[in-house]
Amino acid sequence: MSKQKTIKSYKLKNNETRYMFHLYVGVDPLTGKEQNTTRRGFKTSKEAKDALAALKVQINNGTYKKNAVETYKDCYDMWINHYENTVQDSTFLKTKRLFINHILPLMGHYIIDRIDVATCQKHVDQWAKKLKRFNMVKAYASKILKFAMQRGYIQTNPFDLVEIPIVKKQVSFEEDEAENFYTREQLVELLNCFKQEGDLRKYAFFHLLSFSGMRKSEGFALMWKDINFLDNEIRINKAVARGEQGLYLGPTKNGLSRTIKMDTKTMQLLKDWKKEQAKKYLQLGFNTMKQNQLVFPNTHNDLHEPNKTYRWLKHVLDKYKLEPITTHGFRHTHCSLLFDAGATIKEVQVRLGHTDVKTTLDVYTHVTKKAKAETIDKFEKYLSK
């Protein structure tokens, strides 16, 4: 005998009315416990009654499948627990924040098997208007429905049928574009500006990025023991990452280590910073002669937040009215200057730690494309004299 409760109405945050019901669905054969299901989100009482009647028919004829999940949020909870074991802590935290900020507030309350293409399309359109990387948000939102398909909760993934809106791209300072790099002359000017600022730590850091091509997270993970002043070599085998407990030292982006040769000017600059660091941090109460001393720590002699470089860089760019570039642009700049100097694609790939040569080729393509455009501009100006 079913233990049905009456259909109830409830209010959403926007004051709209929705309907729900509870229904006894039988005894769990594994635990022997009674099971109930709750369905909500119906716009009318009739819609709820029809769903209740259909559910009763499924129970009576034995076709009802006792889902472990009811809503999108239920399915997300299952998926995120599995996902946590497949990625680094920093990636897990970013993904979790993405869901909390952009996906769950919109979709978390939906009944998993009632999500349709129109609903998914509506949210993709919303994300496209607000977010630069809306495609990534759509991809993660889709992962939950794909997970639901794999578990047999739904038959199809409506996100597969969504049309991706075309959004006119706007370039901003924060954006990491493939053409986000400096020419040799622009780089020299920027580094001279950093030198004029009189902060050796910041000057040494950006000089190192420019002449090594390492990622900012790799630069902040460097310890003095990673730098071989005798052979002018730097070993890159870790990176600063952020987990739920804060910053920590993790592997490089691709999990691989590499040792790169450096120029004498950069190495001398690092020597100068090492001496100044010892004096400055001793005044702060820290002994920088320890084995695992960081090259670029924060004022507490601990891991530095990589994103702080944005402020350092933007201050100099604004003050000296220089062309915009992001911190990651120094990596692209190093890449482009290596090509200008005659390095092969393979040599650049190894130095920058690209696991896929396609990444190196993408930068190379944009470098040569921009160089061709600049060449014709110069030619045009020459003829118009």
- Residues 155-185 have pLDDT tens digits of 899 999 999 888 755 444 334 444 588 888 9
User: Which tokens hold the place of 221?
Assistant: 């993970």
3-class secondary structure, 40: strand
What average pLDDT does this structure show over 79-107?
Answer: 90
90 pLDDT above the threshold of 90: no
pTM here is 0.61
> Which string of DSSP letters, residue by residue, matches 53-92?
HHHHHHHHHT-----S--BHHHHHHHHHHHHTTTS-HHHH
In degrees to the nearest 10, what's the CA dihedral of 85, 91, 96, 97?
A: 170
- CB proximity list for 11: less than 8 A, separation 6 or greater: 17, 18
3-class secondary structure, 246: strand
Task: Point out which residues pair with 250 in neighbouring strands.
Answer: 239
Percentage, residues of the chain above pLDDT 70:
87
**CB of 251 closer than 8 Å to CB of 88:** yes
User: Which tokens hold the place of 177?
Assistant: 């574009």
Task: Using alpha carbons, select from 351, 355, 143 the residue that is nearest to residue 259.
Answer: 351
Structure confidence at residue 202 (pLDDT): 96
* pLDDT tens digits along 106-123: 999 998 888 999 999 999
Lowest pLDDT segment from 15-24, 110-119, 182-191, 219-228: 15-24
382 pLDDT above the threshold of 70: no
* pLDDT tens digits along 187-203: 999 999 999 999 999 99
277 pLDDT above the threshold of 80: yes
Structure confidence at residue 113 (pLDDT): 86
User: Which tokens hold the place of 78?
Assistant: 């299952």
Could you tell me the sign of the dihedral formed by the alpha carbons of 117, 119, 123, 128, in that order?
positive
What average pLDDT does this structure show over 146-150?
Answer: 89
d(CA 61, CA 53): 13
Q: Could you count the other beta carbons within 10 Å of the beta carbon of residue 327? A: 23
* Average pLDDT of every residue of the chain: 85
Model confidence at 23, pLDDT cuts 50, 70, 90, reads: confident
Model confidence at 366, pLDDT cuts 50, 70, 90, reads: low
What average pLDDT does this structure show over 52-72?
Answer: 76
Per-residue buried b or exposed e for 118-131, using 16+ beta carbons within 10 Å of the residue's own CB = ebbbebbeebbeeb
What average pLDDT does this structure show over 367-385?
Answer: 58
Could you tell me the sign of the dihedral formed by the alpha carbons of 50, 51, 53, 58, in that order?
positive
